[in-house]
Amino acid sequence: MVLALAACARAPEPVRREFFALGTLVEITVYGLDEARALAAIGAARAELERLDAAWRPWGAGELGTLNRALEAGASAPVSAELAALLARAAALERASGGRFNAGIGQLVRLWDFDGEAPQGPPPDAGHIAAWRAAAPGLAALRVAGGVAASANRALAVDLGAIGKGYGARRAGVALASHGVRDALLAVGGDILALGQAGGRPWRIAIRGPRGGLLGGLTLASGEAVSTSGDYERYYVWNGRRFHHLLDPATGADAGGVREVLVVTDDPVLADAAATALFVAGPAHWREVARDLGVEVALAVRADGTIAATPAARRRVEPVDGRRFEEVP
Ligand code: ADP
Ligand code: MG
């Protein structure tokens, strides 16, 4: 949830396009090229995001859906070098986050109905959740060798929803650069990547709060990535209770205690996974998980509306709308 702020009035007009990919709204802003060249670059970035979207839908016709159906049947499936590399990264992040980030969560996401276009419940019954928890799937149980993946755990299904948008932002940035773009802001839903500057000034973004209003403003250096994860992104109401899409693998249910997490790093893949991991870690553990992941700039809006921030986040994020950031060393 990020808004690009207007840049300096003297700068040449940026070219901006919005479209849907990876289940979210993508917004790409390019400075410094004439419109035709900027649109060609944005088209290439869009094609890259659409390629990943088609390949990595957890139950789609692409390679990830093929892999997940094979794992469910106890069989093996081929994986591309690109997917194998991201799976290895995801497995490392799973270990480093103490399992809060777990890309092997696909079957639980499907049980909760958060895999489809319009999630609506009902929530799964306790028996199904207990069976998933007992099987304890995670990428630690996935073997990938020689371009083939397999697992002894048939409850394992890969869902890249919490890391794929950061990866997509990086790939889209590469596509822009190969078309001569040096200055761009990419927003793949809540995953932002800043390249270069905004018409001769650093990129500035504003972060929305979880229940409306703004949280703060932030100036980004070239190459910096910002990710937010929040309980407002995807949810449904069932019998008066709200259920959201950020699931705690330890309980099998949606994670409580936090409404929104913000993370800034120089790696969009880490930023994406870390925002999810910190959200799931909750108010008592987000700080230690940030440390374990090597994330210095992080901020968490707790369920009571108070905002906790690392020292680096307090230096970086300028509060607005009367918000107060409480420093957690
Ligand atoms: P958003 O930008 O939509 O808030 P996130 O990056 O936080 O997204 O990822 C949320 C998605 O990741 C969910 O829709 C689900 O597919 C998947 N997911 C949910 N819980 C976890 C988890 N604990 N670890 C890894 N992936 C998760
Ligand atoms: Mg994420």
Distances (CA, A) of 13 to 32, 33, 65, 302: 8, 9, 41, 39
Judging by DSSP bridges, how do beta strands 325-327 and 307-309 pair with one another?
parallel
Q: How far apart are CA 33 and CA 14, in angstroms?
A: 8
Residue 197 has a pLDDT of: 98
CA 166 – ligand 2 centroid, Å: 7
Mean pLDDT of the 43-49 span: 98
Distances (CA, A) of 172 to 176, 179, 197, 264: 6, 11, 17, 19
Is the pLDDT at 11 greater than 60? The verdict is no
CA 130 to chain centroid, in Å, comes to 27
Q: Give the three-state DSSP class for 64.
A: helix
Contacts of 135 (CB under 8 A, 6+ apart): 153, 154, 155
Mean pLDDT of the 178-202 span: 97
Mutate to test the pocket of ligand 1, among 57, 133, 258, 276 (most ligand atoms within 8 A of CB): 276
Mutate to test the pocket of ligand 1, among 109, 246, 263 (most ligand atoms within 8 A of CB): 246
Residue 282 pLDDT level (bands cut at 50, 70, 90): very high
Q: How far apart are CA 55 and CA 288, in angstroms?
A: 34
CA 116 – ligand 2 centroid, Å: 17
Q: How far apart are CA 102 and CA 192, in angstroms?
A: 21
Q: What is the pLDDT of residues 94-115, one digit of tens each?
A: 999 999 999 999 999 999 999 9
Q: What is the pLDDT of residues 128-176, one digit of tens each?
A: 999 999 999 999 999 999 999 999 999 999 999 999 999 999 999 999 9
Is the pLDDT at 4 greater than 90? The verdict is no
Is the pLDDT at 265 greater than 80? The verdict is yes
Q: Give the three-state DSSP class for 129.
A: helix
Residue 3 has a pLDDT of: 60
Residue 233 has a pLDDT of: 86
Mutate to test the pocket of ligand 1, among 57, 245, 251, 259 (most ligand atoms within 8 A of CB): 245
Residue 163 has a pLDDT of: 98
Q: How far apart are CA 70 and CA 76, in angstroms?
A: 6
Residue 117 pLDDT level (bands cut at 50, 70, 90): confident
What residues pair up with 228 in beta bridges, in sequence order? 262
Cβ proximity of 258 and 290 under 8 Å: no
Our answer on whether the CB atom of 32 is closer than 6 Å to any ligand 1 atom is no
CA 108 – ligand 1 centroid, Å: 11
Please give all residues whose CB falls under 5 A of ion ligand 2, grouped by chain where several chains appear.
162, 272, 275-276
DSSP class of residue 140 equals G
Q: How far apart are CA 294 and CA 32, in angstroms?
A: 34
What pTM was estimated for this model as a whole?
0.95
Type of residue found at 190: G
